[in-house]
Amino acid sequence: KPKPKVVPEGPQRVPGVDHIIAVASGKGGVGKSTVSANLACALAAKGRRVGLLDADVHGPSQPRMLGVSDRPTSPDGKVLLPVHNHDVTMMSIGLLANENQALLWRGSRLVGGLQQMLMDVQWGALDCLIVDLPPGTGDVSMSLTEKAKLDGAIIVSTPQDVALLDARRAIDMFNQLDVPVLGMIENMSAHVCSNCGQEEHIFGHGGVKAEAEGLGVPLLAEIPLHLDIRLASDGGAPIVVTKPDSPQAQAFQQVARDL
Ligand code: ADP
């Protein structure tokens, strides 16, 4: 009698990839993609072999942040070849659709498409793959977490209560799925005036630190709201690439150092 084929269950490793780290947030617009792009580039600058998967189906922003627009190619109709910039190997759901075209994938097609992106992309040998998840705790985040063996998750939040509440839900999801939460990052922590350098706490201050303490997870960084961070991202090269010696870049570099 032929033996039944053993289908591996539970989260699987991605071939060639040593570590997978997810960057998540409870809600959109808090800087999750900015953090993902800067972490990836900061790790690459340290000589690590880094990949970045942009799985943010609702607003894939990595093509813009990393300054790439080439369409990924598939030589055999099965594997997908990723694109490269700033020494980062990248694949984005935004490269498969036109930037202005709303992504029409839904439900199981969406979930299947993303799992495929993770598994069928020829990442090559990577020390670390950063996954920029969609905000919240929806189907895509859940299914990717179930499919791929994540080594850790970083939660990005602004200091505002509403963003924190959503962040708590995201942490809860990772706890339930047995993914270690590496820590939280407070983004838009203080606004630093690009003229006079004065600091102002537009979204409050210290909220994420208190939350992280309460939940027993590390606070990895407090990143200021700074014009240069936005300008760099919009220009296709994250601040750790354009101004690696600035204090704004150092906040990201420090997180990358500890990863
Ligand atoms: P998310 O991925 O959580 O939706 P993004 O990373 O796309 O958020 O950030 C939303 C917008 O805010 C972008 O235009 C980005 O350039 C800007 N932004 C994010 N973090 C900062 C920051 N620390 N300082 C200045 N602008 C920021």
- Classify residue 4: in a domain, yes or no: no
**pLDDT value, residue 101:** 54
- Classify residue 174: in a domain, yes or no: yes
- Classify residue 36: in a domain, yes or no: yes
Q: Is 62 in the pocket of ligand 1 (CB under 6 A)?
A: no
Count up the domains in the chain and report the number. Answer: 1
Instruction: Give the mean pLDDT of 141-145.
Output: 85
Rounded to whole angstroms, how far apart are CA atoms 239 and 37? Answer: 9
> Which residue ranges are tagged as binding site for ATP?
26-33
Q: List the domain range (segments joined by +) for residue 232.
A: 19-258
- Classify residue 9: in a domain, yes or no: no
**What CATH number did the domain enclosing 122 receive?**
3.40.50.300
Q: Is 229 in the pocket of ligand 1 (CB under 6 A)?
A: yes
Pairing of strands 83-85, 219-225: unpaired
Q: Please list the alpha-helical segments (H only) found in the chain.
A: 32-45, 62-65, 93-96, 107-120, 139-147, 161-176, 207-215, 227-234, 239-242, 247-258
Pairing of strands 152-157, 126-132: unpaired
Q: Is 233 in the pocket of ligand 1 (CB under 6 A)?
A: yes
- Classify residue 8: in a domain, yes or no: no
DSSP character at residue 186: E
Q: Ligand 1 atom closest to Cα of 29?
A: 4
- Classify residue 5: in a domain, yes or no: no
Instruction: Give the ipTM.
Output: 0.99
Q: Which residue has the tokens 């539970």?
A: 10
- The helix (H) or strand (E) run that includes residue 224 is strand 219-225
Q: Ligand 1 atom closest to Cα of 37?
A: 6
Nearest alpha carbon, ligand 1 atom 10:
29
Pairing of strands 83-85, 181-192: unpaired
Rounded to whole angstroms, how far apart are CA atoms 107 and 113? Answer: 10
- Choose one of 230, 242, 246 to mutate for the ligand 1 pocket test, by most ligand atoms within 8 angstroms of C-beta: 230
- Classify residue 153: in a domain, yes or no: yes
Q: Is 48 in the pocket of ligand 1 (CB under 6 A)?
A: no
Q: Is 33 in the pocket of ligand 1 (CB under 6 A)?
A: yes
Q: Ligand 1 atom closest to Cα of 34?
A: 6
Give Cβ neighbours of residue 114 (< 8 Å, ≥ 6 apart).
55, 57, 93, 140, 143, 144
Instruction: Read off the pLDDT of residues 66-78 as tens digits, 9 standing for 90 and up.
Output: 999 888 888 888 8
Q: Is 61 in the pocket of ligand 1 (CB under 6 A)?
A: yes
Helix axes 139-147, 107-120, angle to 10 degrees: 40
Q: Which residue has the tokens 């369409």?
A: 71
Instruction: Read off the pLDDT of residues 83-118 as tens digits, 9 standing for 90 and up.
Output: 999 999 999 988 876 555 545 566 667 777 788 788
- Classify residue 161: in a domain, yes or no: yes
Instruction: Read off the pLDDT of residues 191-221 as tens digits, 9 standing for 90 and up.
Output: 888 788 888 888 778 889 999 998 899 999 9
